Amino acid sequence: MTAMVHGSTPLRDVEPVLPKWWRTIDKWTMSCILILFGVGLLLGFAASPPLAEKNGFAPFHYVQKQAFFGGMALTAMFLTSMMSPILVRRLAVMGFILSFIAVLALPLFGTDFGKGAVRWYSLGFASVQPSEFLKPGFVVVAAWLLAASQEINGPPGRMWSFVLTIFIVFVLALQPDFGQASLILFGWGVMYFVAGAPMLLLVGMAGMVVLAGSFAYNNSEHFARRIDGFLNPDIDPTTQLGYATNAIREGGFFGVGVGEGQVKWSLPDAHTDFIIAVAAEEYGLILVLFIIGLFALIVLRSFYRLVKERDPFIRLAGTGLAAMFCVQALVNMGVAVRLLPAKGMTLPFVSYGGSSLIAGGIAVGMLLAFTRSRPQGEIGDILRGRLR
């Protein structure tokens, strides 16, 4: 009777944050991430001692640093996964702006650490690669623009997202960092496709990528050297690709044994870009297939939950994050087995690297936040309702 006279008061969600987070989170995806990080530490014990000895550090110096940065990454992942999609979007926009400014300032204040590409800021005790933090922020901003364009009288978000993508790709290519530029372009292309882009436009973009690659090959010695090395049918056994190829061949199905691998003594990037070669040599094809299975499960679980999502922004942002996460892993492993030219890209949560670990933790935290269970009908319910 009171409700009839005074009206009903809407119920507030009073469930505590942690129980609600645990009930709604995708535990399969979260478990796979934790296992990948554990595998990365395991491989770090094998891959990092030679580099530590060369630089005059304790044998497990880099393992300890990886554990420290990994702890920060997992903390960022858990905290981000507890946020609402709106809060994730707000923080992502601020993070995108800050990281983009940092990328623009690299020519003035950045360093290349002798690798021929100005991608890092040196802090003395560590280094920061701002393009790693740019990627998750960009995906969320681009998804927001694409979703807004689908609203009635909405802004021209598709055009704005395209212009933003091309500008970012251009800036990254000038470093040069063609690997991160390719990831940015691929992530936007996947979201644009999911948002309903015409196939003719995507084919045209593919043609533009080919033209841009031809231009980069003719005007960038760094890019041309990597392409020539990839196309050369003879592998120089003294190069990183040569060492990695031999290590994978020697590992076979079961590996040569824990601690018995030799590639870590020859590869300067054994703990980062070529960590999968260490895994293949010491643990064999079994561990490599296990790692591939973990990445595949993460992506498939994410797509399975996103396909039920009503909100177009959440659906697009989650798809972009999952696709970029998957392709980065594929590129890293593809380079090691010489299916792709060298890109200088880490294996998410497995390779050593502070920026890549922490940025990966933020990105996966966003993905977990977007794929949490919500009280909503499936998107199929909407479609069926329209057909009635």
Residue 122, classed as helix, strand or coil, is: strand
384 in a domain, yes or no?
Answer: no
The residue among 237, 243, 291 whose CA lies nearest residue 268 is 243
Residue with tokens 């996966």: 364
Strand partners, 306: none
Helix (H) / strand (E) element for 121: namely strand 121-122
Q: Which amino acid is at 70?
A: G
35 in a domain, yes or no?
Answer: yes
163 in a domain, yes or no?
Answer: yes
Encoded tokens for 113: 């650490």
317 in a domain, yes or no?
Answer: yes
What is the structure's pLDDT at 364?
97
116 in a domain, yes or no?
Answer: no
111 in a domain, yes or no?
Answer: no
What is the structure's pLDDT at 167?
94
For residues 321 and 330, give the distance between their C-alpha atoms in angstroms, rounded to a whole number: 14
Residue span of the structural domain in which 143 resides: 25-105+130-372
Residue with tokens 């790709």: 169
- The model's pLDDT over 192-243, given as tens digits with 9 standing for 90+, comes to 988 887 777 777 777 777 777 777 767 666 666 667 666 666 665 566 777 7
113 in a domain, yes or no?
Answer: no
Number of domains comprising the chain: 1
What is the structure's pLDDT at 1?
45
Q: What is the mean pLDDT of each run of 10 residues along the chain (388 residues)?
A: 46 72 93 95 85 82 90 96 95 96 90 78 83 95 93 86 92 85 91 82 75 72 67 64 80 81 74 85 92 96 92 95 94 85 83 90 96 69 49
Residue 7, classed as helix, strand or coil, is: coil
364 in a domain, yes or no?
Answer: yes
Three-state secondary structure readout of 223-282: HHHHHHHHHCCCCCCCCHHHHHHHHHHHHCCCCCCCCCCCHHHCCCCCCCCCHHHHHHHH
Burial readout 121-144 (b: 16 or more C-beta within 10 A, e: otherwise):
beeeeebbbbbbbbbbbbbbbbbb
What is the structure's pLDDT at 388?
47
Angle between helices 85-104 and 354-370 (to 10 degrees): 150
233, 260 contact by CB (below 8 A): no
Phi/psi at 327 (5° precision): -70, -35
Encoded tokens for 66: 């990886």
